[in-house]
Each structure stands twice: as C-alpha cells, then as structure tokens.
Amino acid sequence: METDQVTEQRVEARLKRQRRLRTDKNMRMWVILDEAAVRRPIGGPEEGREIMRGQLEWLIQLSEEYDNITLQIVPFAVGAHAAEAGSFTLLRYSEFELADMVYLEQLTDAEIIDRRPVVEAYTKAMTRLSVAAATPDETLDMLKGMLEDLDKE
C-alpha cells in the first residue's frame, strides 16, 4: 500500500501543478471525465453534499475562467468508452526533443511510458473519448445542472 509520505508527495505535486496551470497560460490541460466521477457521492449524506457542491463549483469556475483548461464529461448515455480500463494521463510537450508520454497511476504505484506504440494507442483513445464526450459548453451545462440538483435535495 501507499505510504503516507508518498500520498503527501502526490497531493503536493497535484497542488503545485494546479497553481502553475492557473498562472502559466502557456500550459494547457484537457480533461475528460466519466460522468460517474462527478456524480459519485463522497462522505456522509450532509458532508458528501457539501464536498460535491465544492467540487462542482470548482469545475464550473475552471471551465468559465481559464481558457487554457478544457473540460469534457463522457455522459452515462455513451455507455462503454475508450477509458473503461482505467484512467490515464497523456503528457505532451511543446519542446520537440521531448517525446509524448503516458502516465498511469495504479493503486500501489505509477508508471510513465514513452514507447511509441503505447503512446499512440492512448492518443487514439483520447481522441475517441473527446468525440464521445459532451462538448465543453455542454459539459458546463451538465455541471450547472448537477449543482442545481444538489440544491433541490
């Protein structure tokens, strides 16, 4: 299992990446989420609702305020999709000497893969996901609808 130190390092790395993404407009992030990732309740009934509200508000803010962030959601109605086997991160760099890479994070470890055939397979999966997913505008509407649904509960 992952140690507390490794968990803290991963959290800090993610927070550092978030800060840089919000300040460095040359960085781009394109995120495609399964609808389950934004609908699955976390915590107890009351606490979970507040956590979800905060997450939805944050995703809405990112979608509305940051031109360098593209967010799409793959709706349940799509059914099975190109990332059914699990999540992945495709890392692409503008510098020509740096090859594209795939980052896979599992339960107990993580791996960066730069083998061309593997990267190409994940690039094709990303393309299929982007076509299957709701557009960024539709995604924003979905997020706002989910937030309204929470307020009705």
**∠ at Cα 73 (94, 59), nearest 5°?**
80
Nearest alpha carbon to residue 112 among 89, 136, 145, 129:
89
* pLDDT digits (tens), the chain, 153 positions: 557 887 788 788 888 888 888 888 888 889 999 999 898 887 777 788 888 999 999 999 999 999 999 999 999 988 777 677 778 989 888 776 788 999 998 877 889 999 999 999 999 999 999 999 999 999 999 999 999 988 887
Nearest alpha carbon to residue 126 among 3, 58, 30, 36:
30
Tally of residues, the chain: 153
Query: Rg of the chain over CA atoms, in angstroms?
Result: 17
The per-residue pLDDT for 2 is: 59
Q: How far is CA 41 from CA 7, 53, 72, 124, 134, in A?
A: 22, 10, 20, 31, 21
Pairing of strands 110-113, 89-91: unpaired
Nearest-angstrom CA–CA distance, 58 and 52: 10
Which amino acid does the sequence have at 61?
Answer: Q
Nearest alpha carbon to residue 115 among 95, 101, 96:
101
The per-residue pLDDT for 136 is: 97
Nearest-angstrom CA–CA distance, 132 and 129: 5
Residues 6+ apart with CB under 8 A from 4: none
